[in-house]
Structure 1
């Protein structure tokens, strides 16, 4: 860059300043050139610090900066976040006050990178919460029902194990942020997914059969409540969902269907199945058995559990398969 040139990416907005000291042309050009180099280096340093995850990780790069002004603004040896001016006013030789402003694409890159980092952190935290909530809710229902005390006691245990724990873990296997099996390949995670889904279906069928047998012994009517109807629909949908998953394991069985469409339909149908199971759990917590045992604030906390896991699963499936616009770093 020559001594009389100004970086092309700076925007100038000038206004008259009557009492400004006059400088020579050479001094003004040198001042503009030094300001451009200073701000460009500082912006690049800030972008590098955000991309590396924070200012602390780029301390070595700041220490190795040769320009003393950049080292002073970057915090020196104390590692403090630098105060970088994104606009600066300078006085030219003809008495004009020129405002140097960083282009919009630099600030946009910083904001997009920050949003993407925050979004990943939130998804990781929500996925970890879904793991804990699914496991905690299943343990809570198991302790509450005391399996083995009666024939009915196995029904809430098996249903919560199927729709709260096993099915949630089967779907979180594919989460890029919160999967417990991220070290496995895509094929390995797919195998774990259908194994967990098959176990969930078996537990749901067993729980449905036991409650039907219990009502037969007591002479009560079947499917007389919304909880029973939603539970039957969820179990039937889970069976159809597992049958449809065979087409993804063996795509040659459906040669006329593109694999991408099969994955999209399977993911959408699986989300509906999971929401039906969560609705069945919510309706079960409104039953006489549950409301007589759990009261007060514990009931509200129990109701929140299927809602939290459903929101996490909905976010994961919509981001992965339903063509939601992603935030690119």
Structure 2
């Protein structure tokens, strides 16, 4: 018979460091989203909605949706897991909505200007990311409405969802990084601002990767 093991204690400094990085991630994802909103000035042109909605989707909504489950610095830390799950799904739906609007804006803008669609790595990866994040949100429905998970173990579904969610987040981060290399962004900012923007996106991705991987390894350790 296997018994659950007590989680190994670790120096408090590790917990403080993770809390600090989570708080920093909140700050970076909000700051970067506000920065892009100011830079793009949504509403001034059809194109302006594209960077605004895409950044809102993948830098803000998706990051905050995952950070809800962080044991260090979650904005909903005192709420029950079920409430966090519902809030997570709502934020993901907002993410999908913004992503679709951002995609529609750039597609229609290119159509009006007679330009070809999805000819760059940024465009191709962005299209793939929007499709994947939509499927990810639909596939998560059995985790909220358990009656839909017929014949499936909820524990396995949660693991699959976490793994695929991390891949989706990395796709979104990759799309944002490629977007920073676009002619519009490079012409709008200086060198130091570009590197700082890229650093924010990369650090957010690293924090999310660490959170998801630690949660998975912790569950495996408890089950062993």
The alignment status of 1:262 with 2:157, answered yes or no, reads: yes
Distance 1:303 1:320 in 2: 26
Query: Alignment RMSD, CA only?
Result: 1.6
- The equivalent position to 1:314 in structure 2, one of 200, 209, 212, is 209
User: Do the aligned residues in 2 keep the contact of 1:264 with 1:322 (CA within 8 Å)?
Assistant: no
The structure carrying a bigger strand percent of its residues is: 1
* Equivalent residues in 2 for 1:190-269, closer than 5 Å: 190-269=85-164
Match in the other structure for 2:185: 290
Would you say how many aligned residue pairs link Structure 1 and Structure 2? 215
Gaps of 5+ in 2: 1-7
Distance 2:142 2:48 in 1: 36
- The equivalent position to 1:147 in structure 2, one of 25, 30, 42, is 42
User: Do the aligned residues in 1 keep the contact of 2:65 with 2:89 (CA within 8 Å)?
Assistant: yes
Q: Tell me the secondary structure at the aligned position of residue 109 of structure 2.
A: helix
* Equivalent residues in 2 for 1:97-108, closer than 5 Å: none
Distance 2:88 2:217 in 1: 20
Distance 2:37 2:81 in 1: 33
TM-score (structure 1 length as normaliser): 0.63
Q: Which has the higher contact order (CA 8 A, sep 6+)?
A: 2
How much has 1:198 moved relative to structure 2? 0.3
How much has 1:250 moved relative to structure 2? 1.9
**Which structure would you say has the larger Rg?**
1
Distance 2:11 2:119 in 1: 48
The structure carrying a bigger helix percent of its residues is: 2
Deviations 1:219-271 (A, max 9, x none): 00000000001100110000110011001112222221111100000000000
- The equivalent position to 2:57 in structure 1, one of 145, 162, 165, is 162
* Equivalent residues in 2 for 1:1-329, closer than 5 Å: 115-323=10-218
Q: Tell me the secondary structure at the aligned position of residue 184 of structure 1.
A: coil
Distance 2:172 2:210 in 1: 17
How much has 1:322 moved relative to structure 2? 4.3
Distance 2:154 2:118 in 1: 38
